[in-house]
Structure 1
Amino acid sequence: MNDDTPIRFTLAGEGFEPSLLAEELTDHRAGARVMFDGRVRNHNEGSEVAGLEYQAYPAMAVKVGQRILEEEAARHGLLRVRGVHRTGALEIGESAVWVGVVSAHRAAAFDGARAIMERLKYELPVWKKETYKDGRIDWVGPDNKSSETGLEKPGDPPEWDASIRWMYLSDGHDFRGRHGLGRQDHGIRAVDSVECVAGMGLRGDRYFGMKEDYKGQITFFDIKMVEAIRGKFGQPDLSAGIFRRNVIVEGVDLSQWVGRRFRFQGVEFEGSEECKPCYWMDEAIAPGAEEFLKPDFGGGLRARILSDGVLKVDPAEK
């Protein structure tokens, strides 16, 4: 790759100059430029930090980093993206990771830069050695777990400030494996509450216990997309269950949670990937529905369930 490549991720074994990286973002189509410069601070979790060291398997780290940049550039309509992550020993105040994006408008630039940083933090195969002034040393992986204990570092995952409008379960698949054969008729039923089982899924749903570490143990879908589809295709009474997603939520940007852990109604989850629509949406809703759902994370969020608990439809929505 060269500096003219619009989307580029690299590792740096020594200090880099952010101003030089910013020059690679020049694009006369752009109306917004957002840059993030993550630096080594002198404290962490109440302890004084003496320094950090990052280690990576370069070929894998560059491949994963490049993929993250390309996926988020496509999702947010970014014109140019540059990302760099340090390896080796760093002192207090040094730049550890730098991300710069440009887009036609500011909203896409802010959202894209944040999404990239969150995914680099949780997905990039780079390990951090934290050295404290009291002599303690801890290695932390991209999943925020200590390599010594295997336990997540202190700090609860953020809580979703959202509400559940509807929830749905289905006993069987209407579409899976039915290419060219039409849909089946397992249907989908609305429920007021559902049991979440860590590592398994939603009890009573078609994906429950499907396979180990399945990415789609639960799916979240934004009420805004339900309303948009109803308006676009002139179907004001269209059921939200037609999308065959589990939990219809309001008040959260699903696109920000891939690779991140979060807590919702006391249950802990980890966003795994975008739930992409398929051509069956054209049959279930109307021709053109699949394409309409593709941009802006319209298909929803797939997630793993990390703790047991129960989700309930908000009383005001019943």
Structure 2
Amino acid sequence: MIIDLPSTTTSQVNKKLVELRETGGAVALGRVLTLVIVTGDGTEVEKAIQAANDASREHPCRVIVVASGARQAAPRLDAQIRIGGDAGASEVIVLRLYGPLADEGAGAVVPLLLPDAPVVAWWPTDAPDIPARDPIGALSHRRITDSAAEADPIASLQQRARSYVDGDTDLAWTRLTSWRAVLAAALDLPPHEPVTAATVTGAADSPSTDLLAAWLASYLDIPVRRVDHPRGPGIVSAVLERPSGNVEIVRPDGKVGSLTQPGQPVRRVSLQRREVRDCLAEELRRLDADEIYETTLGGLDKIVRGEQQAEQPVDAGVSS
């Protein structure tokens, strides 16, 4: 069910929510958090809502979308409430702010926050330089950005490292979960030798490639070379050097990787790029500081840029 409330106020939105709860039986007691999505008033709104709806099946929540419209317009707040099948396991409130109100997202959000529930802010694109100092970010326990969705992903990642505050995270980091799990599992198998160096290859504009290299440099305390691949997609390979032979994962097509290591048969592992909804659901599982991500950001200065790898045939795909 979708209810439109044009030219309204937050008090009227709250009143309508209470009315819907009393007449339709929809209750907020099962909501575990408030997810605030900050975006422009464009096509990305529906994509972000769909991802949040899918994630809410694991984390029932109230979703508040703050969509800033034209700043030259007259001050106006248009709201929309979605419940039932149009909201997954959540209730969605879309706030479209125009004119001077476009910069007052935090003021519109506060009256609609669930009482005594954590707040998570998510910027699908165009995140502020310092999320923790943003008015909505200051309200939040967790702040989710996505360097890969920015105009300059690598510069955005460097900015995330400079501005990190406990509670910050990045979906470019979350996309690495499968890669980190495969590499950690490979090192658990014999021979149990130290890794002496590593090389990570990926698209030049893939922040996840930088983060994987920084993670290896930080936690293995080894020199790591970051090599650009002319086409990608995303991370193409990771090679860990050991005395008896290398541990190597190669993913040329952005979907399936091959794991090679001494004394073991070649294994095919699923490394398909994760959907935003899956990354978002993973991030909503924790509300404390991600210490591994923080340490990894500190390792970005440790990686060494290598020469571009010669182009080899790969399928085109998106960065991961």
Q: TM-score, normalised by structure 1?
A: 0.34
Q: Which has the higher strand share?
A: 1
